[in-house]
């Protein structure tokens, strides 16, 4: 039999359990329902905050953008071109005498700035204007009228919005002597501002800018828009506003840009962005829970999903915050780097423009694209005349075509070229000597885009060097004058004695002829001695002529051009002129190769250099003889030969020699080891300048203290272009 009591007890216990389970399930379902409702409400609130944060995120780049452009316009107001214009204007300069050129420079500066400042393919500034204090538009880029005249009364930086043109106006006053004399105005159209604010918005959002003021304007990607209905009056407060109803309901996130007359507004469709209303979700959930309690597990999963979404949303916010901070730091670094680059470029431009050396920039075809002020001063060509012309206008025809072809071959091969060029001036036709360094300028891909030439005018230096050499030559002639006079006096004396003898002999011969057969007993003597006297006189005259010719050749003024010359003849002439300097202390030995060809020389300069070496050799021998108390004459040997494709001239002596510790300084100007009043320190530097710099040769020195010194001069055989 069935135990009814047990069954009842079992039923009661089971029903109680079922009731308890039902209550727990109902409570659990209710918990799930209300938890889902709360999570949905939190999600909606979080999304509303996110929408506002997105709008505010777009407002900050606008603030930074406007600050950056304000700084740019301020730099223009302080630029040398703008300040220089008002200084010239204050001095009373008219448009015909300087002001028009100043305005052209300002316009060029505006054009260059607009070209550099771009956002994508568009100019950041729709216009840049300069307006004077009376509201007169002085210049603009591009050429327009009426821009910025509303801001002429600005006494400080003013940012406003032109509702007629839908443009942001940045006005910066120009001060001159603590007085506002004008305004620099930068115009940025509203569409550019929308691009700055809306370029990173999501595509499912509608974004636009509302410009506050007496007549608010809304601007989107396609230009001006109608203001959305329900937009609050106070747009200066960050807020989220619900407008519309039903399927037309939308969410407006309003983020004013601090300190600027416009607000970023993003519009989201409420149902798409926030989802269904929480109350409807609650009803649906209760009905579903009432019908199917079994989906409690699903509700639990829903709660877990909601929590996970909340966690993901939190993580997303953290990541976005980190990314925003990183982007802001990158933007700051880029802005700093750009500012530094612009400052460096400006300083470089000033440095090149004000450099003491002439700077010329050529394109790859040799057309002049830029010259600085030093070029204008040295060449006589104005900047307007030179720019756009070929560099051939500077040629003086003193270099052959091969010289220029070799130069351009090196440059187009990417090699640095250095040398001295003789160019011509425009106005007076005179030539100028310039030390030139030309460097290729490459782009980022390594291709040669242009060439920059730095030129130093050495015409006056060469002229002074030539004058100094001539003065030194004349000084040498003056020092040698007494010795040369003595050399001439000796043959003149015996010529005079022989002439006296010939006069007396002629009288005796005349008397003998008259006497007839009674000849004088001295007739035989006279017939024997008169030819000897005539021969001696001819030798004396040749000696005097030789000395005079050598003196003439030595003192002849120098030219600037290398000419073929006989180096043996130059050596012989210099030895003759300097004879009185060495004949009392040394014997001279010449070993001159008879087969030497003519070589390119500056004869006067080479004679002076050789004279300096001979005089130094004589002084060194005299110093050794004094130190050793010797009366034996020293030895000076000069030889010439061809060695290793060059003419070698060797001047050796057995004088005191040069100590090793000063040998490296002997060619330094004004360095001398002689006593005060006996040495100027200019002899050997002149030798080095003539042989190495002017003749393209070389000098070697062999010396040993107490034994002697040898200078070996090596000169090229071929004629080269003048330097």
CA nearest neighbour of 140 among 120, 151, 161, 126: 126
Quickly state the pLDDT bin for 2 (edges 50, 70, 90): very low
- What pLDDT score was predicted for residue 475? 61
pLDDT value, residue 723: 42
**Are 194 and 208 contacting, i.e. CB atoms less than 8 angstroms apart?**
yes
The answer to whether residue 572 scores a pLDDT higher than 70 is yes
Tens digit of each residue's pLDDT (9 = 90 or more) over 426-452: 556 677 778 889 999 988 888 888 999
* Per-residue model confidence as pLDDT tens digits over 505-553: 777 777 777 766 555 556 666 677 777 667 667 766 766 666 666 566 5
φ and ψ at residue 304, rounded to 5 degrees: -60, -40
Q: What is the pLDDT of residue 722?
A: 40
Say what the pLDDT of residue 275 is.
Answer: 60
Give the span between the Cα atoms of 250 and 234, in whole angstroms: 19
Mean pLDDT over each residue of the chain, to the nearest integer: 77
* Residue 248: pLDDT band with limits 50, 70, 90: low
- What's the pLDDT band for 145 if we cut at 50, 70, 90? low
Q: Which range among 340-344, 469-473, 561-565, 681-685 shows the weakest confidence by mean pLDDT?
A: 469-473
Structure tokens at 656: 């005191």
Lowest mean pLDDT among 122-136, 317-331, 385-399: 385-399
Q: Which pLDDT score, from 0 to 100, does residue 14 have?
A: 46
HEC-encoded secondary structure of 245-310: CHHHCEEEEEEECCCCCEEEEEEEEHHHHHCCCHHHHHHHHHHHHHHCHHHHHHHHHHHHHHHHHH
Record the pTM: 0.36
Query: Would you give the end-to-end CA distance of the chain in angstroms?
Result: 140
Provide the pLDDT confidence category of residue 142 given band limits of 50, 70 and 90: confident
Q: Which residues of 549-574 are buried (b: 16+ CB within 10 A; e: fewer)?
A: ebbebbbeebeeebeeebbbebbbbb
Select, from the ranges 122-126, 151-155, 554-558, the one with the highest average predicted confidence (pLDDT). 122-126
Strands of the sheet with 646-653, listed across from one edge? 586-592, 634-643, 646-653, 708-716, 698-704
Residue located via tokens 């210049």? 139
How many CB atoms are located within 10 Å of the residue 523 CB?
14
In the predicted model, is pLDDT for residue 502 greater than 80? no
Under a CB-based contact definition with an 8 Å cutoff, are residues 424 and 395 in contact?
Answer: yes
Question: Tens of pLDDT along 150-187?
Answer: 455 666 788 887 777 778 888 999 988 888 889 999 98
pLDDT in tens, 676-694: 445 555 678 888 888 888 8
Q: Is the pLDDT of residue 7 over 80?
A: no
Lowest average pLDDT, out of 268-272, 407-411, 473-477, 644-648, goes to 473-477
Which pLDDT score, from 0 to 100, does residue 646 have? 92
What's the pLDDT band for 318 if we cut at 50, 70, 90? very high
SS3 assignment for 497-513: HHHHHHHHHHHHHHHHH
């Amino acid at each position: 039999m069935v135990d009814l009591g047990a069954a009842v007890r079992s039923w009661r216990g089971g029903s109680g359990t079922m009731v308890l389970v039902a209550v727990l399930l109902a409570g659990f379902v209710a918990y799930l329902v209300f938890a889902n409702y709360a999570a949905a409400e939190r999600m909606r609130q979080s999304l509303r905050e996110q929408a506002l944060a997105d709008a505010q995120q777009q407002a900050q780049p606008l603030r930074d953008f406007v600050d950056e452009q304000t700084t740019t316009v301020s730099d223009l107001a302080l630029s040398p071109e703008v300040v220089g214009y008002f200084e010239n204007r204050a001095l009373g300069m008219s448009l015909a005498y300087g002001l028009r050129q100043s305005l052209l420079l300002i316009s060029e500066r505006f054009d260059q700035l607009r070209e550099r400042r771009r956002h994508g393919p568009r100019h950041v500034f729709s216009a840049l204007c300069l307006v004077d204090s009376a509201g007169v538009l002085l210049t603009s880029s591009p050429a327009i009228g009426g821009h910025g005249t509303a801001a002429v009364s600005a006494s400080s930086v003013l940012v406003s919005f032109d509702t007629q043109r839908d443009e942001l106006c940045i006005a910066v006053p120009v001060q001159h002597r603590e007085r506002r004399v004008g305004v620099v105005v930068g115009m940025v159209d509203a569409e550019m501002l929308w691009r700055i604010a809306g370029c990173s918005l999501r595509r499912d959002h509608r974004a636009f800018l509302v410009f506050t003021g007496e007549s608010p304007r809304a601007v989107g990607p396609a230009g001006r828009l109608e203001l959305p209905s329900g937009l609050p009056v106070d747009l200066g407060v960050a807020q989220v506003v619900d407008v519309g109803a039903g399927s037309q309901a939308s969410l407006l996130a309003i983020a004013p840009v601090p300190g600027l007359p416009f607000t970023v507004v993003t519009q989201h469709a409420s149902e798409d962005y926030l989802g269904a209303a929480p109350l409807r979700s609650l009803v649906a959930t209760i009905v579903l829970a009432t019908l199917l309690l079994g989906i409690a597990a699903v509700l639990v999963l829903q709660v877990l999903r909601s929590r996970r979404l909340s966690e993901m949303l939190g993580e997303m916010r953290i990541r976005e915050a980190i990314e925003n901070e990183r982007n802001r730091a990158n933007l700051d670094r880029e802005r700093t780097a750009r500012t530094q680059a612009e400052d460096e470029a400006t300083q470089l431009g000033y440095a090149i423009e004000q450099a003491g050396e002439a700077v010329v920039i050529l394109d790859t075809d040799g057309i002049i694209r830029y010259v600085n002020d030093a070029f204008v001063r040295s060449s006589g060509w104005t900047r307007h005349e030179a720019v756009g012309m070929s560099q051939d206008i500077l040629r003086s025809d003193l270099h052959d075509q091969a010289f220029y072809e070799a130069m351009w071959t090196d440059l187009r091969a990417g090699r640095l070229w250095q040398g001295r060029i003789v160019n011509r001036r425009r106005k007076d036709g005179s030539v100028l000597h310039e030390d030139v360094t030309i460097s290729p300028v490459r782009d980022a891909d390594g291709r040669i885009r242009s060439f920059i030439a730095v030129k130093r005018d050495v015409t006056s230096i060469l002229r002074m060097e030539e004058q100094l050499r001539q003065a030194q030559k004349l000084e040498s002639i003056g020092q040698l004058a007494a010795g040369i006079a003595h050399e001439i006096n000796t043959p003149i004396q015996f010529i005079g004695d022989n002439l006296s003898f010939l006069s007396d002999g002629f009288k005796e011969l005349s008397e003998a002829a008259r006497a007839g057969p009674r000849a004088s007993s001295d007739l035989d003597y006279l017939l024997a001695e008169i030819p000897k006297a005539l021969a001696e006189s001819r030798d004396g005259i040749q000696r005097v002529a030789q000395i005079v010719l050598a003196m003439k050749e030595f003192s002849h003024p120098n030219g600037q051009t290398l000419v073929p010359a006989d180096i043996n003849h130059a050596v012989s002439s210099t030895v003759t002129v300097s004879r009185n300097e060495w004949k009392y202390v040394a014997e001279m030995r010449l070993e001159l190769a008879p087969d030497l060809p003519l070589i390119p020389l500056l004869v006067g300069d080479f004679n002076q250099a050789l004279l300096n070496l001979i005089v130094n050799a004589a002084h060194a021998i005299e110093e050794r003889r004094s130190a050793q108390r010797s009366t034996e004459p020293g030895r000076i040997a000069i030889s010439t030969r061809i060695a290793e494709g060059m003419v070698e001239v060797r001047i050796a002596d057995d004088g005191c020699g040069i100590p090793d510790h000063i040998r490296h300084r002997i060619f330094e100007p004004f360095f001398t080891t002689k006593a005060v009043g006996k040495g100027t320190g200019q002899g050997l530097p002149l030798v080095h300048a003539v042989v190495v710099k002017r003749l393209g040769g070389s000098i070697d020195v062999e010396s040993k203290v107490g034994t002697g010194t040898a200078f070996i001069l090596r000169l090229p055989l071929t004629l080269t272009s003048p330097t």
